[in-house]
Amino acid sequence: MGVKDYFFNVKNTAVTIFEGMTVTFSHLLRRPITVQYPDKTPEPIENYIEDRFRGILEVDLQSCIGCLLCMKACPLNCIYIEVDRDPELGRVMTQFDIDEAKCMYCGLCTEACPTQTLRHTKEFELSTDDPDEMVLRFIEPGEKVPFYKPQKGVEPPRRPLGEILRKEIFPQLKKNREYRDKGREIIRQRVERWEDREKLIEFAKHIRKKAGSGDVKALTEVLIEIIGDADFSHQGYNFPKELATALATGKERVEMLDPMGWGSKYLKKDIKLALRIAKGQSVNDLVGFDLDSILKEIEPEPPKPATPKRPAARPAPKKPAPKKSESAKKTAEEKKPEPTEEKPEANAKKTKSVEEKPTPKKPEAEKPEEETGEEKK
């Protein structure tokens, strides 16, 4: 290293450090790029979010045709829709729940929606200490929402994106605690009744009254009541209704159930009790005392006339449609000779529609209006 290099090194060091200091000093005079998100944002947070952002799901029920495609498209079963028939309004939805705790924001449901009424909003702030609070209930219990009847050339009515969530859904999320507490109350009662004979007898009487006739529908209702909030998603039953139907129709055996959590061993006992009472079998070995003789005194309610009189133009496409209809048919033929006059027809139509449906599914997404028009016919 010569003298020249030596002094060059010194000069180089001094100059580069000087330059570096100017650069860092210039940063001191600039505004930081940090956005202090929850506290202070220069603009509303929506402005920072891209239009294609997949936020919390929102459904505008005034233009929902009740096709249940979203429910079927969801890989996680986080959408649950209950369809019913009303003598005045026709076919109505009585429940439309989206469990945002489960949702993985894949967007498959929004792609499936023919009227694009189910949409991803730009909302994303839904933090809570209780996942039960993240169930968005778009229909209040007891409320009935008729289906939207699409017309050609008329755009379905729309509210601004995210308005329903902000104004109607989010303020009511606290209510979900009530539902959760209801579920806990069911479990508490269940544990209590197996410790208290009086309550058990009362419960057995209740089952006998409702489902003693052996009617599958009545039994399903009772089973739904019993299952309550119990989680069987690990066994492939995402909704209590699914499990209840499977149990009532004999597709699932009680022994195979693997309930979890507090009081779960009583759940199996409850279900066994209900099933045996419905089939008219003895329950004495299950409860440990002579319950059969008590139950014999009670007259079970006669099964309701299942379907309404007016012919169903398009039967409600319920979830596991093909399987369920078949099984329902079977049981109906086996156990109930009286109302078979109408039911087989309806069931036949059901199966037909199920067979037909898959074929026009593909163009559906592309031409929603036409498809819905066809459906109307």
Chain residues that interact with another protein, rule: CB under 8 A: 6, 9-10, 17-34, 36, 40
In the complex with another protein, the residue whose CB is nearer, 3 or 154, is 3
Q: What's the closest the beta carbon of residue 151 comes to another protein, in angstroms?
A: 54
User: CA 125 from chain center: how many Å?
Assistant: 21
Q: What's the closest the beta carbon of residue 268 comes to another protein, in angstroms?
A: 49
Q: Distance between CA 109 and CA 54 in Å, rounded?
A: 12
DSSP string covering 209-272, please?
Answer: HHHTT--HHHHHHHHHHHHTT--BGGGTB-SHHHHHHHHHTTSS-GGG----STTHHHHHHHHH
SS3 call for 351: helix
In the complex with another protein, the residue whose CB is nearer, 28 or 154, is 28
Q: What's the closest the beta carbon of residue 25 comes to another protein, in angstroms?
A: 5
Q: What's the closest the beta carbon of residue 14 comes to another protein, in angstroms?
A: 8
Provide the Cα torsion 203, 180, 224, 231; round to 10°.
-110
In the complex with another protein, the residue whose CB is nearer, 27 or 152, is 27
In the complex with another protein, the residue whose CB is nearer, 17 or 313, is 17
Phi, psi for 34 (deg, rounded to 5): -65, 135
In the complex with another protein, the residue whose CB is nearer, 2 or 87, is 2
Q: The tokens of 250 are what? A: 């004999």
In the complex with another protein, the residue whose CB is nearer, 15 or 89, is 15
In the complex with another protein, the residue whose CB is nearer, 7 or 105, is 7
Tell the burial category of 370 from Cβ atoms under 10 Å away from its Cβ (0-12, 13-18, 19+): middle
Which residue type sits at 323? K
Which residue type sits at 261? G
Tokens 């039953």 -> residue: 237
Q: What's the closest the beta carbon of residue 124 comes to another protein, in angstroms?
A: 23
Give the count of beta carbons closer than 10 Å to the beta carbon of residue 30: 7
77 HSE (CA, 13 A, CB side) = 11
Tokens 């000779």 -> residue: 337
Q: Where are the alpha helices (DSSP H) in 42-148?
A: 69-73, 108-112
Q: What's the closest the beta carbon of residue 18 comes to another protein, in angstroms?
A: 7
Nearest to 176 by CA among 213, 210, 132: 132
Q: What's the closest the beta carbon of residue 129 comes to another protein, in angstroms?
A: 21
Q: Which helix (H) or strand (E) holds 99?
A: strand 90-99
Q: What's the closest the beta carbon of residue 359 comes to another protein, in angstroms?
A: 57
**Residues, the chain, total?**
377
In the complex with another protein, the residue whose CB is nearer, 22 or 47, is 22
Q: What's the closest the beta carbon of residue 47 comes to another protein, in angstroms?
A: 19
Q: What's the closest the beta carbon of residue 8 comes to another protein, in angstroms?
A: 12
| CB-based burial, 85-102: b 16+ in 10 Å, e otherwise | eeeeeebbbbbbbbbbeb
In the complex with another protein, the residue whose CB is nearer, 12 or 281, is 12
